Amino acid sequence: QVTLVESGGGLVQAGGSLRLSCAASGDTICISAMGWYRQAPGKERELVARITSGGLANYAPSMRGRFTISRDNAKNTVALQMNSLKPEDTAVYYCHVDTVTAAPYRALEVWGQGTLVTVSS
C-alpha cells in the first residue's frame, strides 16, 4: 500500500511562484508514474503534469512553460514548481501515483488528500 502526503500549498499573488511537494510512503517499490492533478470549485479534476520513473514528463498545454515536475526516486518524492501563477490556477492540487506489481499483477491508483493553492489577482 502507498500513502501520499502533499505540502506547499498556500496563498500567492498573480505572477508569483509556489513549489508543491508530495512524499510517498509504504510499498514505494511499486510506484511507476507520479503526477499532479488539480480541481477548481465546480469543475472536474484535470491533469497538471505526470512523470515516469525514467524522468519523462508530460504537461497539460496550459501549464507547459510555467510548471515543472520533477521526482526523486531515492526519496520517493515528486515536486511541482509553479511559476507565473494566474488566478485561474487556483485549485486544490492532488498528488497522484500509479502503482504496478508483476507477480501477482496489480495496478492501482493512489491519491493524496490535496493541498490548496490560491492565486490572488
Q: 15 burial class (0-12, 13-18, 19+ CB within 10 angstroms)?
A: exposed
For 5-45, the pLDDT digits (tens) are: 999 999 999 999 999 999 999 988 899 999 999 999 999 99
Using pLDDT thresholds of 50, 70 and 90, give the confidence band for residue 112: very high
Per-residue pLDDT, averaged over 77-92, amounts to 97
pLDDT value of position 110: 96
Please provide the DSSP assignment of 43-68 as one string: S--EEEEEE-TT--EEE-TTTBTTEE
Rounded mean pLDDT of the chain? Answer: 95
CA 35 to chain CA centroid, nearest Å: 4
Using pLDDT thresholds of 50, 70 and 90, give the confidence band for residue 101: confident
